[in-house]
Amino acid sequence: MFSRVLIANRGEIALRIIRACRELGIECVCVYSKADADAPYLRLADAAICIGPGPASESYLNIPRIIAAAEVANCDAIHPGYGFLAENAHFAEVCRDCKIEFIGPSPEAMSALGDKINCKRMAKKVGVPVFGGSEGAIDDEQKAVEIADKVGYPVIIKAAAGGGGRGMRVCHNEVALRASIRQASQEAQAAFGNGAVFIEKFLEKARHVEVQCLGDKHGNAIHLYERDCSTQRRHQKLIEEAPGPNIDPKRREALCASAAKLIKAANYSGAATVEFLMDDKQNFYMLEVNTRVQVEHPVTECITGVDIVRTGIRVAAGEELPYRQKDIAIRGHAIECRINAEDWERGFAPSAGKIDVWEPPGGPGVRLDTHVVPGYRVPTNYDSMIAKLIVYADTRAEAIRRTDRALKEFRVGPIKTTIGLQREMMNNSAFQKGGIDIHFLERLLKR
Ligand code: ADP
């Protein structure tokens, strides 16, 4: 096992990793930017090293500074968390060159799955369903039109290196497609340093269903069942739950088995999520693979009893997965609300500042993953998420009632948060029924 892990991240996920390290008896070192100098979780680490000013490019994204910190602090591994450098294969490679274990997949597995075109190709090869569309990158207008004619409009143009909902364009007809293809490629080049784009069938009414997987360095791979993350705004998830509501057990088995098959084929070690869209007949199509721990991992931890962060560290240290597929079963239902510092009633405007009122909920089945304490000042440099409320109960109906109860207890001020919106969702009859599509929330907000 590692003796000292450097945490190359901030906020709630840094704290989540500190907790996992403590439980494994590993020392941990946090890096932080000047904007996070007063963050209370830093006191829980064995050491904390300032790596630069607030802007992420000068701190949490700065590879030389992070590696230097790891070397100075004598760390034998780096945990990247999510976001920042977590899906940067170059960073994983630099870690390897410096003989520091990157807690995550090999740079090879990360690159293979991180490129959406390549990932789709691999999925197709092992029999995982994907949307019809171009076989590889496409730069020719005429060819794009031919493919769109074959799969039928609407189609979506996507960047091979895209992420965070950026670099996508939906085209409803040939005129739009012709007008968009070159521009999409130029934009992808500017945004991601890779101009490769591809097209695929666009599914109008879909659910976002994703499968949590774990692999080790001995060729084992398992799945931990699925999450439904259809409650989104601008491709940003606001509520996630596990298992997916109203999913036919046979479809579930097929979905989850295909995700595990892809992870195994990629020789993947660590935590990964295979994302799918599901249509109203519960056909599923793979979108992409996220090669890291995800924000919403706790709902899966609740229903399976597997500590995903701890297991990720153990397999990075070379241990075999402590579970076989047959050991994994779903028990109960879990819901996560991402509490963001945003004024959802005014266009989700950021609401940074000092948190004077902080009265978090508690009681049975309530878990709160947060780095916030009373008096905490939300920095403006980073993501607006300040807490994740995770609620667990025997059934989905009970989980919804319990989430509503916990949200009602949760008092935060004077900054604005998304709590009110999440309460509305818990009391929404379509949400309660289960199986809403990814545009449901945006339609609701327009009313
Ligand atoms: P990113 O890496 O930017 O998150 P994804 O490929 O995961 O990109 O897609 C993000 C979102 O875009 C999906 O959750 C879905 O809402 C929409 N989307 C992507 N591909 C399709 C498609 N073929 N049909 C319908 N919606 C899509």
| Nearest residue (CA) to ligand 1, atom 21 | 202
Question: What does the pLDDT read at residue 139?
Answer: 82
Q: For domain 131-201, which architecture applies?
A: 2-Layer Sandwich (3.30)
| Nearest residue (CA) to ligand 1, atom 13 | 235
Q: Tell me: the pLDDT tens digits for 391-420? A: 999 999 999 999 999 999 999 999 999 999
Give the residue numbers marked as catalytic: 292
Q: How far is the CA of 337 from the centre of ligand 1 (A)?
A: 21
Binding-site residues, ligand 1, Cβ < 6 A: 131, 156, 162-166, 168, 200-203, 206, 208, 235, 275, 277, 287-288, 438
Class (C level, CATH) for 207-446:
alpha beta
Closest CA to 232 of 87, 338, 386: 338
| Nearest residue (CA) to ligand 1, atom 2 | 163
End-to-end CA separation in angstroms for the chain: 54
Closest ligand 1 atom to residue 229 Cα is 14
Closest ligand 1 atom to residue 133 Cα is 23
Phi, psi (deg, nearest 5) at residue 432: -60, -35
Per the DSSP assignment, residues forming a β-bridge with 49 are: 31
Lookup: tokens for 67: 């590696």
| Nearest residue (CA) to ligand 1, atom 10 | 165
Closest ligand 1 atom to residue 131 Cα is 23
Question: What does the pLDDT read at residue 164?
Answer: 75
Q: How far is the CA of 214 from the centre of ligand 1 (A)?
A: 23
Lookup: tokens for 435: 């199986």
Q: How far is the CA of 115 from the centre of ligand 1 (A)?
A: 14
Question: What does the pLDDT read at residue 35?
Answer: 97
| Nearest residue (CA) to ligand 1, atom 23 | 202
Q: Are 425 and 445 in contact (CB under 8 A)?
A: no
Closest CA to 27 of 1, 62, 61: 1
Closest ligand 1 atom to residue 275 Cα is 7
Q: Rounded to two decimals, what is the model's pTM?
A: 0.97
Q: How far is the CA of 297 from the centre of ligand 1 (A)?
A: 19
Q: How far is the CA of 116 from the centre of ligand 1 (A)?
A: 11
Question: What does the pLDDT read at residue 352?
Answer: 87
SS3 of residue 40 by DSSP: helix
Q: How far is the CA of 165 from the centre of ligand 1 (A)?
A: 7
Question: What does the pLDDT read at residue 140?
Answer: 86
Q: Tell me: the pLDDT tens digits for 221-246? A: 999 999 999 999 998 999 999 999 99
| Strand-strand pairing, 4-7 and 77-79 | parallel
> Which of 233, 273, 286, 287 best tests ligand 1's pocket when mutated (most atoms within 8 Å of CB)?
287
Question: What does the pLDDT read at residue 167?
Answer: 77
Domain spans, the chain: 4-103, 131-201, 207-446
> Which of 277, 286, 289, 443 best tests ligand 1's pocket when mutated (most atoms within 8 Å of CB)?
277
Question: What does the pLDDT read at residue 447?
Answer: 86
What is the per-residue DSSP string for 133-168? B-SS----HHHHHHHHHHH-S-EEEEETT--TT-SE
Q: How far is the CA of 287 from the centre of ligand 1 (A)?
A: 7
Closest ligand 1 atom to residue 165 Cα is 3
Question: What does the pLDDT read at residue 321?
Answer: 98
Give Cα 376 distance to the centre of its chain.
25
Q: Which positions of the chain have pLDDT values less than 70?
A: none
What is the per-residue DSSP string for 89-137? HHHHHHHHHTT-EESSS-HHHHHHHHSHHHHHHHHHHTT--B--B-SS-
Q: Tell me: the pLDDT tens digits for 188-204? A: 999 888 999 999 999 99
The topology under which CATH files domain 4-103 is Rossmann fold (3.40.50)
